[in-house]
């Protein structure tokens, strides 16, 4: 079975940057969509960004140009570069892969804490 392993989370002061990564523990033949979601206590999980095979991207409205999603298909990896972090960005960030056959995988989450 495939497991998504996340890394790059941590604590940072407001205005700082973090780079998250998520890679499949085993190779996946084809991945249609790679994405990042986040969830804070008392809130529903929300979309941060997605990137479709071919490079088309979609971002949550709150990003306002601060985040950039990218993917490396050869290594089955998705990245999220987060700049100018704000306190409200504090959350557990989850990566998600969706295959062309609609199979979906989720990471276990990585904590991002932004102090103000």
User: CA-based angle 62:73:16, to the nearest 5?
Assistant: 35
**Around Cβ 43, how many Cβ atoms within 10 Å?**
9
**pLDDT at residue 32 above 90?**
yes
Percent of the chain whose pLDDT exceeds 70: 100
Q: What is the mean pLDDT of residues 79-107?
A: 96
| pLDDT at 29 (0 to 100) | 80
Q: Are 40 and 26 in contact (CB under 8 A)?
A: no
**What distance in Å separates the CA atoms of residue 86 and residue 47, rounded to the nearest whole number?**
17
Phi then psi for residue 56, to 5 deg, are -65, 135
Q: What is the pLDDT of residues 43-58, one digit of tens each?
A: 999 999 999 999 999 9
């Amino acid at each position: 079975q495939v497991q998504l392993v996340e890394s790059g989370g941590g604590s940072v002061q407001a205005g700082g940057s973090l780079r998250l990564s998520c890679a499949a523990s085993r190779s996946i033949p084809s991945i249609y969509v790679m994405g990042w979601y986040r969830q804070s206590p008392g809130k529903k999980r929300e979309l941060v960004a997605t990137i479709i095979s071919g490079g088309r991207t979609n971002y949550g409205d709150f990003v306002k140009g601060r985040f950039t999603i990218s993917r490396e298909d050869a290594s089955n990896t998705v990245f999220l570069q987060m700049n100018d972090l704000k306190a409200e960005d504090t959350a557990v960030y989850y990566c998600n892969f969706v295959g062309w056959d609609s199979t979906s995988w989720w990471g276990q989450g990585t904590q991002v804490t932004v102090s103000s």
